[in-house]
Amino acid sequence: MTETIVRGSITEVRSSMLCRFRGRHVGNKGFRILSEYLWAKPTVPFSTSVLILTSILLLSVTLPMTAQATSGTASSFHLSAIPNRWTMTPNSVRISVINVTAVDAFAGTVDLSATSPAGITVTPNPTSLPFQSSILSLTSTLTVSASASAAPGAYLVIITASAQGAPTESLTLMVVVVANTQLACGSFGTCLIVSDASISNPSYNGGTIHFAATGPSGMSGFANVTIPRTATSDVSDTHVLVNGAILPGNSVAITGNGIDYFIFFNFTFHSPVNVDIELSQLSRSSNFLGVSLILIYAGIAGIAIATIGVVAVLAVRRKKTRSMTTSRSSKPSSGEP
């Protein structure tokens, strides 16, 4: 897994070769917080390694990192989770499986506990896993709940496993709470804004979707906006503006199905971020008094076809009437020789 580090710092020194980095990164639809143990190269003094590592992180260089459980130097079991990240809405529940794998014929009872921030509840079941020397792996079901009041954003959940006589293991998981905001997009139907930011002031006017996104300053957020296909005549002509600046095309991902288009992009919080999504120029002028011009044109065409049909029928009837009149006037009367 490769992460792009934005900013971070060394928060803990474990030994002359192991230190802990905590910082922020960009990627994976707004997953923004990283807490990882990194090994310093033993070929240089430890102080030099920390200095070099800190400098690299602050210069925003892309570094390869492998997500792993953290523990002491000798471990008798290992932790993993599937999945280890969740995207969820307030008042929803997700399920994960915690795997505990024994090392070197470990025998003993592993106790599981979870630490989570306000608004997020994490419960392992069972909380105790009894290992015998013949057992290689045991699992626990992890239930993750977001309360109805959980604010949009990214949250860290820590799973801790402990056993008598063995080093404690911990595993950091991530929960991303998103907000679903519905918006009436004129006569085209309903648009939907999904984001890990707090959304305010949503509006639709003349083919432009507008909303404000709020989150922790300096952190990154994302939005995935669903629009009906009928709302734009050319989705490739869509422009996304963040605080008035147009995002480059490679920063906006547009996909779709037979009914809707999905517009995905990232942004960085400094203050409330103003987002405008401008649909194609034709679509902005494709309604009159709230009625789609397509329907208006179809109605006009229908009226024209009906009018032509009526005129044609009347013309045929008139022609037949004239023919009958001419035929009668040219036939001799019964009194003529």
For residues 86 and 129, the answer to whether their CB atoms sit within 8 Å is no
For residues 114 and 123, the answer to whether their CB atoms sit within 8 Å is yes
- Pairwise CA distance, residues 230 & 59, whole Å: 45
Question: Is pLDDT above 90 for 181?
Answer: yes
Amino acid 263 reads: I
Give domain status of residue 162, yes or no: yes
As a whole number, mean pLDDT of residues 146-172 equals: 93
- Pairwise CA distance, residues 215 & 58, whole Å: 22
Give domain status of residue 21, yes or no: yes
Give domain status of residue 2, yes or no: yes
DSSP 73: S
Which residue segment(s) compose the domain that 239 sits in? 179-288
Phi, then psi, of 207 in degrees rounded to 5:
90, 5
Give domain status of residue 294, yes or no: no
Give domain status of residue 313, yes or no: no
Convert the pLDDT of each residue in 9-68 to its tens digit. Answer: 444 444 333 444 444 444 444 434 444 444 333 333 433 333 333 333 333 333 333 334
DSSP line for 234-298: -GGG-EEEETTEEPPGGGEEEEE-SSEEEEEEEEE-SSSEEEEEEPPHHHHTSEETTEEHHHHHH
Convert the pLDDT of each residue in 252-305 to its tens digit. Answer: 999 999 999 999 999 998 889 999 999 985 434 445 544 555 566 677 877 878
- Pairwise CA distance, residues 309 & 314, whole Å: 9
| 113 plus 151 within the same structural domain | yes
| 124 plus 203 within the same structural domain | no
Q: Tell me which of 176, 196, 221 is where a domain ends.
A: 176
Amino acid 249 reads: G
As a whole number, mean pLDDT of residues 203-223 equals: 91
Q: Tell me which of 244, 265, 288 is where a domain ends.
A: 288
Its pTM surpasses 0.75: no
Poorest-confidence range of 39-53, 95-109, 207-221, 249-263?
Answer: 39-53
Q: Which residue from 201, 220, 185 is spatially nearest to 33, judged by alpha carbons? A: 220
| 115 plus 167 within the same structural domain | yes
Name the pairing type of β-strands 33-39 and 85-88.
Answer: unpaired
Name 329's bridge partners.
none
Residue in this structure with the two tokens 């925003």, named with its chain if needed: 60
Q: How many domains does the chain have?
A: 3
- Pairwise CA distance, residues 57 & 55, whole Å: 5
- Pairwise CA distance, residues 293 & 283, whole Å: 10
Q: Which residue from 114, 130, 102, 97 is spatially nearest to 170, judged by alpha carbons? A: 114
Output the pLDDT for position 52: 33
| 233 plus 267 within the same structural domain | yes
Tokens in use for 164? 């008598």
Q: Tell me which of 145, 160, 176 is where a domain ends.
A: 176
| 137 plus 203 within the same structural domain | no
Burial 224-257 (b: 16+ CB within 10 A, else e): bbbbbebbbbebeebebebeeeeeeeeebebeee
